[in-house]
Amino acid sequence: MPESKITSVEVARLAGVSQSAVSRVFTPGASASKQTAEKVRKAASELGYRPNVLARAMVSGKSRIIGLLVAYLDNQFYPDALERLSSVLQDQGYHLLVFMAGKDASNVDNIVDEMLDYRVEGIIAASVSMSAKLAERCQRLGVPIVFFNREQNDKTRFSVTSDNYAGGYTVAEYLLSLGHKRISYIAGWEYASTQFDREAGFNAALTKHNMQCFGRAVGNFTHEGAAVATRQLVEQGLPDAIFVANDHMAFSVMDTLRHEMSLSIPGDVSIVGYDDVPIASWPAYSLTTVRQRANQMVSKTVEIIVAQIEGEALEPLQIKIDAPLIVRNSTAPNNQTTSA
């Protein structure tokens, strides 16, 4: 008999229990005795029954689906974070449905409309911004939003990020401590809060030491953009150190310096990234970088969104998680300083 023909009534009949007992067994969070659950699952397995989750969601109004809105996945930080989000949400009885906004964020409002059509119970917005009007609409509909690795310029919203300002500040202090004088910066997408805060912290530390950024170029958080930005910086004058706004771009910077320009890292140029994605520790890169504590960021994001879905009243939070500098082999004391 095809699976689609099997109903909970038939499962209940074979298991010798009520239909409501079958429903409780397959409803996350509902109570059913161990003995009942075993009988129901055995009967369901024999009959090939699977509960119709979407139909149940239409009846109950509870889909237990969280929508993740993300602009891109080529930055290695996001696939890792997505896997963690999915795993932690599953432990809470929720499932993640991913919607791609693309790098042109002009269609975000339309995509959120589509997410709401799927009856998502909450939205996690990663690497995208959202209009205040749209955020307010979701709030009116009772669909909480948490911004992950992004902040809105609105203290009434929930967000979870690393402490990007402090991270950028730490990078500048570290490079100055190595004796670097010509310290340049490769920016990400100009309108991203992560980009803005990292650069602001970086420049604040330079200013404290009466220094200025030696050169600046924009890589837009892309591999190709970072390569172009690297060539632009070198044309302006070779820096002795470069802070790159994320690891994904930093790998491109290192490849361009080494393979196009035959420069040594860190002999000629020290490189620092931001994220500490797994590839950063590979011997081919051994990248000094600021670590985003993805596990803590994910845990806080899930904690906030589930609490709101389950009716807990929370004051808006903008959580910033400390981001330590991880020193590897892509940085070294300035040759000119050590030989003087």
pLDDT score at 213 = 97
pLDDT tens digits for range 204-229: 999 999 999 999 999 999 999 999 99
Which neighbouring-strand residues pair with 100? 70
pLDDT score at 302 = 95
pLDDT score at 238 = 95
Contact between residue 121 and residue 62 where contact means Cβ atoms under 8 Å apart: yes
Q: Is the pLDDT of residue 2 over 70?
A: no
The encoded tokens of residue 168 equal 């950028």
Q: What is the mean pLDDT of residues 275-286?
A: 97
pLDDT score at 73 = 81
pLDDT score at 58 = 53
pLDDT score at 52 = 67
Q: Is the pLDDT of residue 60 over 60?
A: no
**Most confident of the following: 25-29, 39-43, 177-181:** 177-181
**CB neighbour class for 106 (10 Å; exposed up to 12, middle 13-18, buried from 19):** exposed
Q: Name, in order, each residue with C-beta under 8 angstroms of 315's C-beta and a sequence gap of 6 or more.
A: none
CA–CA gap between residue 58 and residue 91 (Å, rounded): 23
Convert 150-204 into a string of H (helix), E (strand) and C (coil). Answer: CCCCCCCCEEEEECHHHHHHHHHHHHHHCCCCCEEEEECCCCCHHHHHHHHHHHH
pLDDT tens digits for range 153-178: 778 889 999 999 999 999 999 999 99
pLDDT score at 202 = 98
CA–CA gap between residue 247 and residue 291 (Å, rounded): 10
Question: What band does 259 get if pLDDT is binned at 50, 70 and 90?
Answer: very high
Question: What band does 136 get if pLDDT is binned at 50, 70 and 90?
Answer: confident
Which neighbouring-strand residues pair with 213? none
Which neighbouring-strand residues pair with 70? 100, 126
pLDDT score at 28 = 65
The phi and psi torsions of 302 (rounded to 5 degrees) equal -65, -40
pLDDT score at 104 = 58
pLDDT score at 340 = 32
Q: Is the pLDDT of residue 247 over 60?
A: yes
**Domains of the chain (ranges plus CATH)?**
3-49 (1.10.260), 63-162+293-321 (3.40.50.2300), 164-292+325-339 (3.40.50.2300)
**Most confident of the following: 17-31, 54-68, 239-253:** 239-253
Helix (H, G, I), strand (E, B) or coil at 106: helix
Q: Can you say how many angstroms the Cα of residue 27 is from the centroid of all Cα atoms in its chain? A: 29
Q: Is the pLDDT of residue 40 over 70?
A: yes
Q: Is the pLDDT of residue 4 over 80?
A: no
